[in-house]
Amino acid sequence: MSEASPSTFSKIKSLVSNNKKQFIGGLILLIIIIGLIIYFVLSKKQNQIILVVSSNCAKCPEEIERFNTTWKDPNNPDAKTAKASIVDKDTKKGRKITKKYKIDAFPSIIAINKKGEYLIMDLSGSSDDNLLAKVADAVQVAHARGVLHRDLKPSNILIDGAGRPHVSDFGLAKRLEAADSVTFSGAILGTPCYMSPEQAAGSRGDVGPASDVWSLGAILYQMLTGRPPFEASSPMDTLLAVLETDPPLPRTLEAGVDRDLEMIALKSLQKPQELRYHSAGALAGDLRAFLAGEPIAARQGGLADIAARLFRETHHAVVLENWGLLWMWHSVVVLALCVTTDVLAWQGVATRWPFSVLWAGGLALWAPIFWALRRRTGPVTAVERQIAHIWGGAMIASVLLFGVEGLLGLPVLTLSPVLALLAGLVFFAKAGILSGAFYIQAAVLFATALVMCLVRTDLQHDITHIIFGLVSGACFFLPGLKYFRQRNRAGLSN
């Protein structure tokens, strides 16, 4: 045996020497085969959708069942979402669902060119126009089963080899009927470019099916224009844009965008939830109506819709929670100034300077106190600065009325009804920026100016300033009380 081994090795060595090229070729072929096997295994894993969740969620059978369920509409076989693995991210153990749904898909519903740029999709009549309608159907099925996606974006909509869309990545999903969810209250979750205002607002927002409708609208917007509706230099700036600005009209970015598709996208991107489509299914219906050449719901609106838009709160109304208590104090200050003015008039004061000192000094003292107290409640937003400028301008104009009276040679306090007009203008501006309900205060104050003219008598019996003080004070106090209570309720819920 000891002599057999050298002989065997010699034969192998001789065989390799005589067939060196064949041996090297076989070795290279073996390496290629092994590489192909590794590539196949890795590529297969990359097509699996894996959701990583927290320990509490991974150990909860209900949550696992929710994530691992395939929602399928029997009337629409294309409308389905993907099953997923659930892995405990904290312990790397826990319960793990091994069922996986393989999607051989392109990375996104929106095409990307070689430069990595999103391409504008032609929605004028091709057979793929109803892709987003099918996606909306899938989202509607998920909503009907009590699941909210919360992170819809192009990269989460996969197209299989047959051209069918699939909604994937329910990693931020939550049950609609649940009091809590896989996320914590106050967390801002999602992708900023496609995130709804209520999601961007964190705990102050009421996230629901309309939030997914917004995200679908953002995807449609990008399909039309080649860019998301909101873009900024940082995620935080993008969030602020989502909260405070409106997206550019699609036709200003891409002249060929159909007007009806533009209206569908913009209706989906309305900041107040009640002005969007009431469901993802309604959005899908409007997209199909466009494809069929039928009238779209985005163009229709009755008297009730007009009234709802007129008197609704805007997305900026949340800032009023920071002003509630201050408005209540402001109503007291205004009433005190008005009562003091009439008391001075009853005492026979007819010169101009005491009233000028009273109003200029009182407002000059109160304004910085007011602003300092506001800054203590948190950062001041851009819209609050705009409101503060409007309010400050009205206060300056109120004080300058005494100078105008003097230059015109009018008796003191002759132009007092203008105070109500200025206050009405302030609330009229607030109605357009914050809440349409302020149109009521504006109308009441405009009417108060007329009443002040009608009831005006000699200074010794004048009560016009008290009337203005009571009305103006109520206009500030009542909404201030409402938003003060709203802020307290939000604090308790957190």
Q: Which secondary structure element, helix H or strand E, spans residue 105, and what is its range?
A: strand 105-106
Q: How far apart are CA 463 and CA 343, in angstroms?
A: 9
Q: Are residues 115 and 211 in the same domain?
A: yes
Q: Are residues 236 and 360 in the same domain?
A: no
As a whole number, mean pLDDT of residues 38-63 equals 45
pLDDT band for position 32 (cuts 50, 70, 90) = confident
The model's confidence at residue 291, banded by pLDDT at 50, 70 and 90, is confident
Q: How much of the chain is helix, strand and coil, in % rounded to 5?
A: 60, 5, 35
Confidence of residue 167 (pLDDT cuts 50, 70, 90): confident
Is 45 contained in some domain? no
Is position 78 within any domain?
Answer: yes
> Is the model more confident about 302 or about 342?
342
Average pLDDT over residues 61-86: 43
Q: Is residue 310 part of a domain?
A: no
Domain match, 249 and 330 both: no
Do residue 344 and residue 485 come from a single domain?
yes
**268, 300, 332: which is the final residue of a domain?**
300
pLDDT digits (tens, 9 = 90+) for 217-240: 999 998 888 888 988 888 888 888
Mean pLDDT of the chain: 75
Q: Which residue has the tokens 């299914």?
A: 281
Return d(Cα 331, Cα 50) in angstroms, integer.
Answer: 57
Looking at residue 21, what is its pLDDT?
Answer: 63
pLDDT at 470 over 90: yes
323 and 285 both lie in a single domain: no
Cβ partners under 8 Å of residue 189, min gap 6: 150, 151, 172, 183, 199
- With bands split at pLDDT 50, 70 and 90, how would you rate the model's confidence at 467? very high
Whole-number pLDDT of residue 264: 92
126 compared with 378, residue with greater pLDDT: 378
Pick the more confident residue, 103 or 340: 340
Q: Of 213 and 489, which is predicted with more confidence?
A: 213
In the predicted model, is pLDDT for residue 78 greater than 50?
no
The pLDDT value recorded for residue 86 is: 38
Q: What are the residue numbers of the active site?
A: 151
280 in the same domain as 355 = no
Which CATH number characterizes residue 107's domain? 1.10.510.10
- Is 42 part of any domain? no
Rounded to the nearest 10 degrees, the angle between the axes of helix 464-493 and helix 324-346 is 160
At residue 115, the pLDDT reads 46
13 located within any domain:
no
In this model, does residue 208 exceed pLDDT 80? yes
Section 143-164 average pLDDT = 79
Share of the chain above pLDDT 90, in %: 27
For 202-211, 267-276, 323-332, which range has the lowest pLDDT when averaged over its residues? 202-211
**DSSP single-letter state for residue 273:** G
pLDDT-derived band at 159 (thresholds 50, 70, 90) equals confident
Q: Is residue 94 part of a domain?
A: yes
Q: Evaluate whether residue 4 is within a structural domain.
A: no
Q: Are residues 66 and 128 in the same domain?
A: yes
Confidence of residue 109 (pLDDT cuts 50, 70, 90): low
Please report, in angstroms and rounded to a whole number, the separation of the first and last CA atoms in the chain: 83
Q: Does the pLDDT of residue 377 top 90, yes or no?
A: no
Q: Which pLDDT band holds residue 40 (cuts at 50, 70, 90)? A: low
Q: Who has greater pLDDT, 450 or 76?
A: 450
Domain match, 269 and 410 both: no
Question: Average of pLDDT values for 136-156?
Answer: 84
Radius of gyration of the chain (CA): 33
The verdict on 334 and 244 lying in the same domain is: no
Same domain, 294 and 322: no
Percentage of the chain lying above the pLDDT 70 cut: 67
Final residue in a domain of this structure, among 233, 268, 300: 300
Q: What is the DSSP letter of 469?
A: H
Asked which of 14-28, 235-249, 376-390, 399-413 is least confident by mean pLDDT, the reply is 14-28
Q: Which of 273, 300, 327 is the last residue of a domain?
A: 300
Q: 2 in a domain, yes or no?
A: no
| Number of independent structural domains in the chain | 2
Please name which of 280, 284, 287 lies closest in space to residue 260, comparing C-alpha atoms: 287
Q: Is residue 252 domain-shared with residue 350, that is, in the same domain?
A: no
318 φ/ψ sector (left φ>0, alpha ψ -120 to 50, else beta): alpha
Considering the domain architecture, whether residues 356 and 233 belong to the same structural domain is answered as: no
Q: Return the H-helix or E-strand segment holding 373.
A: helix 353-376
pLDDT category of residue 350 using cuts at 50, 70 and 90: confident
The arithmetic mean of pLDDT across residues 122-131, rounded, is 52
Q: H-helix or E-strand containing 8?
A: helix 4-18
What residues make up the domain containing 474?
318-493
Give the dihedral sign, CA 387/392/397/402. positive
Measure the CA angle with vertex 487, ends 484 and 491; round to 5°: 140
